[in-house]
Structure 1
Amino acid sequence: MTGVSLLAVGFGGTSAEAAPDAAPTEQQLGDYIAAGLKQAGPVAGVGTGSACTSGSGAGSGNGSGDCFGGSGSSSGLSGGYSSDTQGYGPAMTSWTAAFGYGLANPDAAPPETNDWNCKPSAEHPRPVVLVHGTWMNAYNGFAFMSKPITDAGFCTFTFNYGRSNIAQGGGLGSVLPGVMGTGYIQDSAKQLATFVDRVLAATGAPKVDIVAHSQGGPMAGWYTKFEGGGPKVQHMITYGATNHGTSLDGIGALGRAVNNFGIDVLGFVELFVGHAGIQQTIGSDFVNKLNAGGDTVPGIDYTVVGTRYDEVTNPYDLTFLKAGPGAHVDNILLQDGCEQDVSDHLTIMYSPRALSIALRALDPAKHPDLQCTFNPWVIGGGGSL
């Protein structure tokens, strides 16, 4: 849910020099929302989610799925599509520079990805699929991580998903050509399913590993649970994933509670952040269904990375998963053993430590050690552009 992070970066008052104030627990937020649900009843004119239709493959406009937008999901029509990248952008160490380049070059691929002639080796038998977050795209999501992962010997692939305009519910941010990941998350999961099948067909591999940021985490989770992806994924590595929703420093939880009393606050907010943004708030129908049967899928190994300074997936521990039967979960707080890495929701994807966590999860024998360097808010890249 990276779009709202841009607002937080521009207007937020939290400093990375000191740890944020103690956040309410997930249970406290859940109890608060539940109190509103108990009071809520049918209210004329208030939406409760709707069915939606969107593209299920690159450049396609077909397919359908339930949207589960939640109470107050009322803006825009359904729709959206995914697309392949075209050409390559430069490697970047700074999130700020990469984000700007991605806005101006929305279809660029991050370095050394999408070699459709790449064949996995016996040492690295699974291709890696990189999944960007809300208001991001394939390039600025992975302009730092893609080359080192490919250079480590992996076939690496990525694409742009959830491309929706204002009429399709993408929110005002979608007027910018590089803003993607705004359509209904269930539709984006169908687009991911199509892309993974293409990768498996091209490489001949039986499974993929997924590296995902923000919305990419729960979107990939929906894919593994409801779109047939479970048997096709071995490792799931996520950063700042909104796996259990987000309070947005309490704003999302408050909006959900107000909506439950019959005032369509979130529907108004959705006009700005898009369908996917509002689906990621605590207590949404999407979040509830995603986690109703447990956090994990049997047979998948999860590496879940959170940062104490995440202003979007907030409280940050909402990203962490509880292992169910047949699954393994490694929940990692980025600052454990490395307090100087103060990455926020966005710059975590430009953190050398975060990259080293991915490499260790993908190939622990060759990459057993974690890096520890200074990585600041907003800029990333060690503080330089």
Structure 2
Amino acid sequence: MLRGDTSRRGWTRKLVTSLAAAATGIGVAATLAGPAAAADQQQQLADYINAGAKKPVVAENILKGGSTWQTPAGNGPQQDSFLPAFAYGLTNSNAAPPGANDWSCKPAEGQEPVVLVHGTWENAYNNWAMISPALKKEGYCVYALNYGISNPLQGGGLGGLLPGANGTGDIAKSGKQVGQFVDKVLKSTGASKVNMVGHSQGGITAREYLRYDGGAAKVDNLVTLGATNNGTSLLGIGALGRNINNLGIDTLGPVALGVGASGIQQVYDSVYIKHLNAGGKYAIGDVNYTIVGSRYDEVTTPYQSTFFPAGTPHTKNITLQNGCEQDTSDHLALSYSPRAVSIVLNAFDHKTKIVCAPNAWLFG
């Protein structure tokens, strides 16, 4: 048992530092928030823990503010790795990835339009500046949206202060936004169904749409890349925070002020993850699922937590490195992996050869 106010503050300060560090794993933009903002978040959480709490205030219930979505316009350049795409997206926050959002496009025979769903603190451009043009080259009509756009006062966290840091709003609301965009794509193309690709939170936002917003009738295939399908431990710290919360002190509520509602919703054993997988239902309707994970994923941890349970119908769980050890893609590099691109194409046409090529951690 901790004794004395000084020792208690020291312990909570260490916990806060660990939680804040873990929170940055939700998205690369956290490192750009600045030391002053991080210190304020840490002090706020330390004060909260020191004061104690008679009963927990569940984070998922205090940060479900409003959010909006946009259709990106004007195509940015093709990129081969995340970092230059991220840099371009900072000053072109509503750019469409190359090849995407051509509203005159009509699917070729045997093809369906493809909708790309970005991850937390990412946007349509920086997430898809490699995959989008690869799909377009193969003749697909490609579409990408920016969703979950939420400022800090709406529950968007510090990401809301950065241009193009989207996907921070309540995931249930984001699923509805994806549904509105899919309807726009179907109307424009005349197609009856789409294929989808989701990175990180984009995978579970797509699944939210499939399960709770009627999307299963409008989607043929869903490929997820490093999706937080079963939540993430954030290297164990997220789980620690959740356990402390369940004991009566809501450590995650104040942290959510920094990382945003969707970040907290993705923590292992959260109310949201339980909602998404309720009843053990992962595959919905006749949708085909291809679930891709990387051994080097440092955000969706452990990386196996991305996979659906063994035996789930209509599902392929794929570890990126199986048969290709030289691809060391981490979380952010997954959507810039030539191997991952070929897996996406194969999931849609069942004939593209799955390639093996080196791809570096983070800088892939």
Per the normalisation by structure 1, the TM-score is: 0.80
1:238 to 224, 229, 234: 224
Q: Which is worse superposed, 292-301 or 232-241?
A: 292-301
Is the 8 Å Cα contact of residues 170 and 275 (structure 1) preserved in structure 2?
A: yes
The question of 1:307 aligning with 2:294 is answered yes
Structure 2 distance, partners of 1:139, 1:240, is 18
Match of residue 90 from structure 2: 103
Equivalent positions of 1:1-385 (< 5 A) are 4-6=26-28, 44=54, 46-48=56-58, 69=60, 73-74=61-62, 76=63, 78-124=65-111, 126-293=112-279, 294-322=281-309, 327-365=313-351, 367=352, 369-380=353-364
Shift of 1:229: 0.5
Shift of 1:77: 6.0
- The 1:148–1:210 alpha-carbon spacing in structure 2 relative to 1, beyond 3 Å, is same
Structure 2 distance, partners of 1:194, 1:180, is 17
Amino acid at match of 2:291: V
Is the 8 Å Cα contact of residues 24 and 30 (structure 2) preserved in structure 1?
A: no
Is the 8 Å Cα contact of residues 2 and 346 (structure 1) preserved in structure 2?
A: no
Is the 8 Å Cα contact of residues 134 and 277 (structure 1) preserved in structure 2?
A: yes
CA RMSD of aligned residues (A): 1.9
Is the 8 Å Cα contact of residues 9 and 378 (structure 1) preserved in structure 2?
A: no
Is the 8 Å Cα contact of residues 3 and 273 (structure 1) preserved in structure 2?
A: no
* Corresponding residue pairs, total: 321
Per the normalisation by structure 2, the TM-score is: 0.85
Is the 8 Å Cα contact of residues 128 and 154 (structure 1) preserved in structure 2?
A: yes
Structure 2 distance, partners of 1:221, 1:159, is 16
Structure 1 distance, partners of 2:210, 2:166, is 21
Shift of 1:3: 5.6
The structure with the larger Rg is 2
Shift of 1:7: 7.7
Structure 1 distance, partners of 2:25, 2:135, is 26
Structure 2 distance, partners of 1:306, 1:143, is 20
Q: Deviations over 1:320-352 (max 9, x none)?
A: 113777x41010000000111110000011110
Is the 8 Å Cα contact of residues 55 and 249 (structure 2) preserved in structure 1?
A: no
Structure 1 distance, partners of 2:240, 2:360, is 29
Is the 8 Å Cα contact of residues 148 and 171 (structure 2) preserved in structure 1?
A: yes
Shift of 1:132: 0.3
- The 1:2–1:197 alpha-carbon spacing in structure 2 relative to 1, beyond 3 Å, is farther
Give the helix-richer structure, 1 or 2: 2
Shift of 1:102: 1.0
Structure 2 distance, partners of 1:374, 1:270, is 36
Structure 2 distance, partners of 1:77, 1:230, is 25
Shift of 1:298: 1.9
Structure 2 distance, partners of 1:119, 1:2, is 40
Amino acid at match of 1:47: V
Q: Deviations over 1:262-313 (max 9, x none)?
A: 1111012111110000000011111001111311102010000000010111
Structure 2 distance, partners of 1:123, 1:193, is 23
Long gaps (5+) in structure 1: 11-42, 50-68, 381-385
Is the 8 Å Cα contact of residues 99 and 133 (structure 2) preserved in structure 1?
A: yes
Q: Deviations over 1:79-133 (max 9, x none)?
A: 1100111211100001111111112211000001111111112121x11000000
